[in-house]
Amino acid sequence: MYIIAKDGTGDFISIQQAIDAIPGGGRAPTILLLRMDEYHERVVVDKDNVRIIGEARDRTVITASGCAKDPDENGNDRGTFLSATFMVTGHNVEVENLTIRNDAGDGRDVGQAVAVYAAGDRGVWRNVRMIAHQDTLFCGPLMPKVVRFIAPRQGRAEVVESVGDCPVTHSRQYFEDCFIQGDVDFIFGPYRCWFERCTLFMNARGGMYTAANTAEDQPHGLVFRQCKLTGECEAGQGFLGRPWRRFARTVFLHCEMDEHVAPLGFSDWDAVKVVTERYAEFGTTGARADQNTRHPSQKRMTAQEAACLTIPEVIGGWDNWQPQKRVPTWFLCGDSTMADYPPDRYPMMGWGQKLQAHITDNVYVENCAVNGRSSKSFIAEKRLNFIELCLRKGDKLIVSFSHNDEKPDAERNTDPRITYPEYLGMYIDAARRQGAEPVLVTPIPRRLFNEEGKLIPTHGAYPDAMRNLADYRGARLVDLEKAAAQLFSLAGVENTKRLFCHVPTGSKNYPDGLADNSHLQEEGASRIAALFLSRMQNSRWAEEDLENVEPNDYADLIAREDSVLC
């Protein structure tokens, strides 16, 4: 997770700086959290698997003033497609809870001025305000002049010679609970797009809510379901749409339309680009629900025909994309035993670093654990606040602290009887406020054996305090301390060196060697991640099974573990 804050309190002060710093290749999305502010910059999201979240929708604003009449290097107008405030050229990009504006002004003065240019595939937009005048939202591919303009940030977006007569496109966009404001043709383009529970707001100028550019042999274009069409123009001055090209496709399902919508509904562009049966509506409510006044050429849909227009049918595609079903994220809060480590610390790893590799379900892991933090200092640094802003229903907040709560310094120390459960309670409350599930995880033991080879507990009263709190608050508990202690005891003194970061002299990152009995190395991180997951899912051996395993059966125990995970 990267924090963007203009006042310098985050990881970056610029959105584009943060996007440029995102490493490629990860399955889980990189999260960018934008603090409340106005970001005056033009942004191109060219990376795949990115999730951009605003701290507060109406107070987290990305704005610029590009317009079609801006001069290029030769003094000519740049045109519509070089005016965008926010452009996405990567795949699997999610944007939520913020405002994107183009402040260039009225199209009669400045020409087209795009707020959002959605060029990638599998784009998801939730609770986003998009505000401009003419041509607010474009959903379509890049053109050569756009590629040159944004170079080297082309990403993996489709590229065509001309949008006006482009071939069948394969990219898709999904919009949920968004507010989209503009006037002339302000939602336009050739992509397949689904709009769910969105508000379409027509400016005082009036015009067309949509201008689809669907290819004739492409079965679907723009679909709006359970949306509200309103505005501030005079009554009847907002038309549902017009065809940018012949045989374009736009459908409104179960939408509410007030008096701002024209009784005719759809309108012809000219004598050639006219409304056909590929334009339709069904289940319209509100002041403009009278179908008798509609354009004579638009489709009069039956209930059966309307029922066939579903998200899987329109934008599901070959990969069965279902953007309405959010992929849950597990946010990890913890210390160095859980945290991610860079390559120059290898083989040291936190168990959270290996968790994603063991999860077979469609779940993302966001490891927010940080070295040296306690349940108290993690909150003091506002890390929990930032995570809470990203939590959504269905997510999990996985909390494991103790190693540093035991330290004597005032910044980290907590009392296991009083302040430790109080701080843990804050994590539980944060998760539940957002509809997420809190999961408390007792800390892994340190590698400390007595002369008889018996593992010595080192966390004092903290694990029991967490167990008691989980019982009192009705939170899920993963007793990793007990499970890992049994595993370490079975492994014994020598075998546990394979799990903890014991590195011989001459190693690349540790030339003097290392004998660390608190932190894990790769094998240990993987084993603990698997153990955590097994306890979380209650799908592996029971604790009584571990008690019946002899110490020399450790290798067999590991084999059993591997067979279950494969």
What is the distance, to the nearest Å, from the Cα of residue 331 to the centroid of all Cα atoms in its chain?
12
The runs of H, that is alpha helices, within 434-479 are 462-473
pLDDT of residue 256: 98
Residues of the chain with pLDDT > 70, as a percent, come to 95
In angstroms, the CA 73 to CA 76 distance is 7
Give the CA-trace dihedral at 303, 305, 306, 312, to 10 degrees: 140
Confidence of residue 25 (pLDDT cuts 50, 70, 90): low
d(CA 346, CA 350): 11
Cβ neighbours around 5 below 10 Å, total: 16
What is the rounded average pLDDT for all residues in the chain?
A: 93
What pLDDT digit, counting tens, does each position of 81-132 carry? 999 999 999 999 999 999 999 999 999 999 999 999 999 999 999 999 999 9
pLDDT value for 175:
98
pLDDT of residue 542 exceeding 80, the answer is no
Predicted confidence band of residue 422 (pLDDT cuts 50, 70, 90) = very high
At 185-199, the pLDDT tens digits run 999 999 999 999 999
Spell out the domains of the chain, with CATH numbers in brackets.
Answer: 69-82+103-316 (2.160.20.10), 329-565 (3.40.50.1110)
What local confidence, expressed as pLDDT, does residue 539 receive? 34
> What pLDDT shows up at residue 315?
97
- HSE-up of residue 456 (Cα within 13 Å, Cβ side): 9
pLDDT at 420 over 60: yes
Please report the pLDDT score of residue 58 as a whole number: 97
Q: Residue 229 above 60 pLDDT?
A: yes
pLDDT for residue 369 is more than 50: yes
Please state the rounded mean pLDDT for residues 134-161. Answer: 96
Q: Which residues 6+ apart lie within 8 Å of 122 measured at CB?
A: 91, 92, 93, 171, 172, 321, 323
What is the arithmetic mean of pLDDT over 75-84?
A: 96
Which helix (H) or strand (E) covers residue 438, if one does?
strand 437-441
pLDDT of residue 158: 96
Looking at the predicted structure, is the pLDDT value of residue 61 above 90? Answer: yes
pLDDT at position 566, please? 24
